[in-house]
Structure 1
């Protein structure tokens, strides 16, 4: 009986908008209003990477307060910005106030550039 009630609910056909989304178009709801409004409050995880290091477990166990871990990037190199684990942009660290840092976006990576020159996430 539950299956019949679910099948009785009106369902919208979104298959017509899939081609438009892949081409960079914003799908519209009936009446012509863009449906992007539905996504405005969706939380996304933003990660900023300063650099990376490979360290054996033995060395990690020897770390203590004040230890320095050398990263694979030089000072002044762009930071890598990921959104939900996907490469999104590059930026630089900025001081927002005396207690907090922020990131100024210096370049946003487009999809074709990312495919040509992939970076390890």
Structure 2
């Protein structure tokens, strides 16, 4: 068991005052903390008596309360709202003009044309063969839906030109 009066048995720890973390701080709480940590640093002094420790703790507590009371009015303010002044929101005349949309011309997008939809059971799908006919929910001549990246953007009609299917856009769908 360690002797509480023997200074060689005391644990060595780095406190903020010893490491210089709060160097230059003159708040009442840090002054009291410095006093408490500096008392044991003197080799010529015996260990602190209980009365001395209680006195230092009371002084540190009082200084802490005073520091909190001093900072409270600054943090709380007077409670009345204050208007906020916005900076100038006009664009700079030196600002770069908007880049033309031509830069987006090379971006690839997924385009899908949907003739219609249907629901089938797995058994019906497994029975499909070459020449099978699948009925869709749209009639011949109904407009088809045009999707770009999964989003409906237009409707159109199906045409055949030079033996290729084509779509004539008849309606743009707004956002």
TM superposition score normalised by structure 2: 0.44
Deviation at residue 75 of structure 1 after TM alignment: 1.1
1:79-109 per-residue CA deviation (whole Å, 9 max, x = no partner) reads: 00000000000000111212x1110000000
**Alignment of 1:31 onto 2:96:** yes
Gaps of 5+ in 2: 1-94
* Rg comparison, structure with higher value: 2
User: Which structure is higher in helix share?
Assistant: 2
In 2, Cα distance between equivalents of 1:45 and 1:94 = 21
SS state at 2:154 partner = strand
What residue ranges of structure 1 are gaps of 5+ in the alignment? 1-29, 112-121
Residue of structure 2 in register with 1:44 after alignment? 109
Provide the TM-score with structure 1 as the length reference.
0.63
Structure with the larger RCO, 1 or 2 (CA within 8 Å, 6+ apart): 1
Helix, strand or coil at the partner of 2:142: coil
Aligned match of 2:169: 105
Alignment of 1:39-78 (within 5 A): 39-78=104-143
Measured in 2, the distance between the counterparts of 1:37 and 1:104 equals 24
Helix, strand or coil: the match of 2:145?
strand
Shift of 1:35: 4.1
RMSD between aligned alpha carbons? 1.2
Moved over 6 A (4+): none
Relative to total residues, which structure has the larger strand share, 1 or 2? 1
